[in-house]
Every structure is written in structure tokens, then in C-alpha cells.
Amino acid sequence: MILGLVMNAAVLLVLMIGLWLVAVKIDDVSFIDAVWGGGMALLALVSLLHVPHGNPGALAWLILGMTAAWGIRLFVHLFTRWRRDGEDSRYKRILKKDREQGRFAIAALFKVFLGQAVLLYLVSSPAQAGILASEAPAPITALAWAGLALYLVGIFFEWVGDWQLKQFKADPSNEGEVLDTGLWRYTRHPNYFGDACAWWGIWLAAASAGWGVALWTIAGPIFLTFTLTKWSGAALLEPGMKKKRKGKYHDYIERTSAFIPWPPRSAKHS
């Protein structure tokens, strides 16, 4: 397993260096968001190729399927958004001073691509280790089925939440309004909640390969949940929404759960 994980790290490093060169050439790093999902799907596939004796079990195929479905969908969604909307304002802000001082290339490498490589590797560690530890005839246990069930809940919230947001933004009459229907009525971030559920589900499936895998990789879903709620997810998004939507978004916050879906609070609690 250790050799497989080292080889995965090497593949990821080569990928990120190559993408960094592309980013320098086009003067835009924003496509890195799409690489987040696509890179995890790639590491899962590479892990399958490294399974001892080239004989992956059913559990390895299950984890690969879960990771690939999540990662490829997210890659397409975010890559399409980048192609449509251009450079992301977050990365403009992060690299603004470096760009002005002629340090864009080196800043993009260390602040974006290498940093993302480390976090991508960490978050996807359950899928990598779970696959590498699932040589045939590793069975699909009750714990793995429970992980799949949680994963499917996450996929529903993430995919449907993203679709509802896309439909909302496509309607010009919604300019300046706040999406508070569908899944967005019950949580301010159904896509983030779904993301977390999907990776906790993958971790449960991987844990069925052995508690050594479970303990070694639990930092992945813990970090992902933290970053979605407290660091680069909701924590970055909501301040901007408060400025853009002003009182409307404040009212939305008052009545709507921040993360875990829950019936909205009544107006009297606002």
C-alpha cells in the first residue's frame, strides 16, 4: 500500500506541475477548482492499477465507482463554469499583489497548485487507501453498504443543489434575489452538505477494508468538513452574499440552517 500511495503522490505532483505551466501561460489559475474533483477520480483509478497482484476485489471497484462518479461530475460542472464565467474573483484577490509585483508564476505554484495538491491528496486518502487495501476477494460488507447509502444521500444533495442553483441563476428575474426554495429552503449549502456526506460515505466504505485504513484516513473527511464549513467554503462565500444581497440574505440566514438540512425557522425567530 505504501508504494502505491507514493506512486499516487508522484502522479499528482507531475499533474499539478503540468497544470501550473498551463496556468502561467493563460494567466489564470481558476480551473484548479475543476481539478479538485477530476484529480480525486484520477487518483482512485491509479490506485486501482496499483492493487497488489493486479487483482482488485469488489470493494475496490465500488470505491472507484463512488469516487469517479463524484469527481467526474464535479470536474465537468466546475470546468464548464470556469469556461463560461472566466477568472474567479477569489483567485484574483489571492494573487492580486503577486501579479502586480511580477511574482504571479511562483505564487501560483506555491499558493495554488502545490497547496491544492496536498489537500487533494489528503481528502482523497480514504479512496486511495481503501482501493489499495481491497485485493480480491475483499467483500462488500454491511459497513461498505452503509457508506454507499450515506454517499448517495450526499450525491442527491450535491447534484440537485447545484442544478437548482444553476436554474435559479439562469433566470434574469432572479437577479438580486436569494434562492430559498427546493433543497436551499432547508440548508444554505446543500451542495457542501452533500460533498461532506459523499466523502464520509467513501470513508465508511474504505473503513470496511480494515480499521488501520479507517484510522489512517479519517483526517480526510474531517478536514473536508472543516474547510466546507469554516475555511474556504461557506466562510468565504457568505460574507460576499451578505454584501450583495444585504437584508435579504440576512433574513435567509436567520431562518435557514447553515449546513445540516433542517426545517426553516419561523419569522418570529428572526
Is 150 found in the same domain as 90? no
My answer on whether omega of the bond before 239 falls inside 30° of 0, hence cis, is no
Choose one of 140, 158, 190: the last residue of a domain: 140
Is 197 found in the same domain as 178? yes
Is 159 found in the same domain as 96? no
Q: What percentage of the chain exceeds 70 in pLDDT? A: 95
230: Cα separation from own chain's centroid: 14
223: pLDDT strictly greater than 80: yes
Q: What percentage of the chain exceeds 90 in pLDDT? A: 74
Q: What is the number of structural domains in the chain? A: 2
Q: What are the pLDDT digits (tens) for 243-260?
A: 776 678 888 888 999 899
Residue 108 CB partners (closer than 8 Å, separation 6+): 20, 23, 24, 29, 95, 98
Is 193 found in the same domain as 59? no
Is 239 found in the same domain as 183? yes
- Cβ count within 10 A of residue 166: 12
Mean pLDDT within 197-212: 95
Q: What are the pLDDT digits (tens) for 41-55?
A: 999 999 999 887 778
Residue 5 near residue 132 (C-beta atoms within 8 A): yes
CA 37/CA 66 separation, integer angstroms: 12
Q: What are the pLDDT digits (tens) for 12-44?
A: 999 999 999 999 999 999 999 999 999 999 999
Is 239 found in the same domain as 164? yes
pLDDT for 263? 94
Choose one of 111, 140, 169: the last residue of a domain: 140
Residue 113 near residue 16 (C-beta atoms within 8 A): yes
Mean pLDDT within 140-161: 97
Is 178 found in the same domain as 68? no
Choose one of 90, 125, 140: the last residue of a domain: 140
Is 255 found in the same domain as 146? yes
Is 236 found in the same domain as 118? no
Is 151 found in the same domain as 106? no
CA angle 12/18/22 to nearest 5° reads 135
Provide the domain limits for residue 23: 1-140
Is 148 found in the same domain as 135? no
This prediction's pTM = 0.90
